[in-house]
Amino acid sequence: MTRIVVLGAGMVGRAIIDDLAAQYEVLAMDRDPRALEKCRARQVETQAADLSDPDTITEATAAADLVVGAVPGFMGRQTLKTVLQVGKPVVDISFFLGDTAELDQLAKDRGVVAVMDAGVAPGMSNFILGHHAAAMDVHGFRCVVGGLPRVRTWPWQYKAPFSPIDVLEEYTRPARFRERGQEVVRPALSEPERMDFPGIGSLEAFNTDGLRTLLDSYPDIPNMVEKTLRYHGHRELMEILRESGFLSTEPVKVNDSNIIPLDLTARLLFDQWELKDGEEEFTVMRIDVEGEEQGTPIHYRYDLLDRTDPVGGWSSMSRTTGYACTAMVDLVLAGKIKTPGLHPLEDIGAVDGSFPRVMDYLRDRNVVYEMTRLEGE
């Protein structure tokens, strides 16, 4: 039986483990025994381990047919590198920073397929653009996305489905996008705009650095932008924290200790932003792809509105991210992605037959991207 090792059993990791365990032999690894305890009811093998230790990962993945990386972003690069050094195909959801050329070459040298950013955005947004860019001349791409609690609570009006440190990093990293063919860099949280969504109401969109690999993959698309969605008021609070130094990584001396403000802020927010058992949330995303198809102006719009699963209790973010990941696992194990190397999801969206297979896979799990053809440019 196919054996899959999942590195990380957090909120998203557990959804991945649960989905894969229905078809495959799964080993779940995490440093937190409490997270693993929640996996045991799903009849998976578990192992408490320090995933920052390369030797531990090397030993655990030696007998794997495929590995899934579901560790926090700050651990993602080293974890993926270790798996590739072992020579195992891997699907990774961690959002790590920096150049990926070394990892791409390592995957090619080991002769294995590695899929990166296998989530929602980056992830499915890349996949959708890759699908259309293979069949049309794209002039514009726009993605707005956010995961939010159903109930707004003072003061933050936000709950994080993953570590606050990863969210706060999005609020400090400059946002890169393309405007009329020119690369543009603007501060995160800048250029807020109101957007209305059926079934939700009014949200605020603002610049974040979410295009990731798309800027390099499609240098000829003149207009590309990604924005994050939050309830009104949250953005301004975070801007105040950032401009006041609370999100700085520069140590500050307090009494006889050096304290990194970002570490303290993230620790204080951890409990306040944590989704408690029974708290409902939703994921909303809108993707617009505009251009020409066979000489005809065309505009495709994809809308996702996904809510907490009332039966299984899975959060929307864990399902939408986790099942995007397991859909990529399905493609890799089915031999649909054959070229060794590091693949962002736009590469996979362009593979013949991958788009309907992934969309059907997600639909079977009640994650539905509604597509509308709008009037062209």
Domain boundaries, the chain: 3-119+317-369, 124-314
> Which class in CATH covers the domain with range 3-119+317-369?
alpha beta
d(CA 150, CA 324): 22
d(CA 206, CA 227): 5
Q: Model confidence over 143-170: pLDDT tens digits?
A: 999 999 999 999 999 997 667 888 998 9
Q: Report pTM.
A: 0.94
**Segments of the chain scoring below 70 in pLDDT:** 40-42, 161-162, 376-377
Cα angle 132, 282, 164; round to 5: 95
Percent of the chain with pLDDT over 90: 85
24 exposed, middle or buried (CB, 10 Å; 0-12, 13-18, 19+)?
Answer: middle
pLDDT score at 145: 97
Straight-line distance from the first to the last Cα atom of the chain, in angstroms, rounded to the nearest whole number = 51
Q: Provide the token pair at 41.
A: 């009811």
- CATH H superfamily, domain 124-314: Dihydrodipicolinate Reductase; domain 2 (3.30.360.10)
Q: Provide the token pair at 80.
A: 């993926």
